[in-house]
Amino acid sequence: MMQQTSWNLHLYPRGSEDPDFIALFLKRCDNCSGPEKIALNFELSILDANGRDLESEKIELNDLEFQKSASHGISDFFERPKNIREDRVFTLDILRVRCTMWIDEGEVDKEVLSYAKTRIGHEKISFINTIESFATLKPNLKITFDVTSVSKDALKLSGNVYVRSEPGSEDEVMVEISLDSQNAHLITCQICMLNSAGKEVECGEGEVDKEDLSYAKTRIALENISFINTIESFATLKPNQKITFNVTSVSKDALKLSGNVYVRSEPCSEDEVKVEISLDSQNAHLITCQICMLNSAGKEVECGKIDTRNDLCRKSTLVAPLNFEKSNLLDEKHEYLPNDKLTLRCECTLSTGIEFQSIEETFY
């Protein structure tokens, strides 16, 4: 190296002052040989995968000299791409930089090209987190979780899931994540929801530094129960007379649904057909229920729905009025009441608690 000096190139992918810019500095080593001061010029460059310049900046110090341990560079050298995965600067997740150094005075007796590579160690942790009773989660109530990696460092992640509620704005589902480590830093996090079929639905990703927030995967365990209930002699059903039904799921939890079908009669109002449904469980909760009538041809006609996902308070019994009044059904009895029977198909979705809570997979 020039006049027996030694140098370091300091790269800050997340900036030294502004995290939106890549910072790059040339520093003379503390204990290097050579003169106490040396005057030189240098050029900093960002390269693409083919070695072509994407951004270059010459720094001519003029009368400014490098003393030992001195450094000079640019804090806002290159603006970070919004999408690193698709940007040509970070091809294959590699950032390439170049520093060219020269002295104006004297003769150049030799040109030297040196290469350096820095590899940052990564650990990837994938886990599933399930939020119970999501429909009844109170605004700004934080549900905590903790995850420990299975690597020898046993890195610990902790965080919260909550619904942020502010006046004049829509409720947002937020996830906080923090990393309890002095030596490791949280870089990125991808979040997916698992739907009722177990398929992943992407719902957020971000890049963070040590103090930032990120997202965690969340899974709500669900069970679907579908059953048919038939009310005989519907035309002679007395007002407010309740016809009960009971259903038990075939899952290992054997969840029990019970309910009533009746015609609510009140003075000065049309008779309404109502369906009540209750779930006998301390650990599972009724989320939605879709109700259909089966007509004389056996085809389904949607006639009612229960949805508690936006309810703040949990109810032990849910009531759904049908879209058809009793008089309407009797007027169309050949269509909807074959043999004076009202046949309803109910499809209920239940939240059954924690399905899985552990480290799903760890990559190295």
Please provide the CATH number assigned to the domain covering 219-355. Answer: 2.60.210.10
Biggest distance spanned by C-alpha atoms of the chain: 112
Residue 33: its pLDDT value, please?
84
Counting other chains too, the contacts that 297-305 makes at CB distance below 8 Å and 24 or more residues apart are 300/345, 301/336, 303/344, 304/275
* Cα–Cα distance for residue pair 323/126, rounded to 1 Å: 46
Q: At the topology level of CATH, where does 7-122 sit?
A: 2.60.210
Q: Around 82, how many Cα atoms within 13 Å sit in the side-chain half-sphere?
A: 0
pLDDT digits (tens, 9 = 90+) for 227-254: 999 999 999 999 899 999 998 887 777 8
Distance CA 345, CA 330 (A): 19
Average pLDDT, integer, range 246-264: 86
Window from 2-11, 18-27, 198-207 with minimum mean pLDDT:
198-207
In this predicted structure, the answer to whether residue 337 has a pLDDT above a threshold of 80 is yes
Q: Which of 197, 195, 223, 220 is nearest to 348 (CA)?
A: 223
Element at 15 (helix H, strand E): none
- Top pLDDT among 246 and 39 is at 246
The 10s digit of each residue's pLDDT in 1-12 is 677 888 888 888
Per-residue pLDDT tens digits for 108-139: 555 556 666 666 667 788 888 888 888 888 88
Q: What is the pLDDT of residue 122?
A: 72
Per-residue pLDDT, averaged over 12-32, amounts to: 85
Judge whether 350 and 285 are in contact, CB under 8 Å. yes
* CB-based contacts of 271, cutoff 8 Å, min separation 6: 239, 263, 264, 265, 325, 326, 327
Mean local confidence (pLDDT), 131-160: 87
Q: Are 58 and 41 in contact (CB under 8 A)?
A: yes
More confidently predicted of 12 and 356: 12
Q: Where in the chain is the domain with CATH 2.60.210.10?
A: 7-122, 219-355
pLDDT reported for residue 331: 92
Distance CA 304, CA 268 (A): 23
Does the pLDDT value for residue 224 go beyond 60?
Answer: yes
- Percent of the chain's residues with pLDDT above 70: 81
For all residues of the chain together, what is the average pLDDT?
Answer: 80
- Among 39-48, 260-269, 280-289, 347-356, name the one with the lowest average pLDDT: 347-356
Whether pTM exceeds 0.75: no
Name the one residue in this structure whose structure tokens are 């370091």.
8
How far apart are the C-alpha atoms of 230 and 220, rounded to whole Å? Answer: 32
What integer is the mean pLDDT of 8-29? 86
Given this model, what pLDDT does residue 216 score?
45
Question: In 3-state terms, what secondary structure has residue 217?
Answer: coil
Average pLDDT over residues 217-228: 75
11-37 burial string, b = 16+ CB within 10 Å, else e? bbbbbbeeeebbbbbbbbeeebebeee
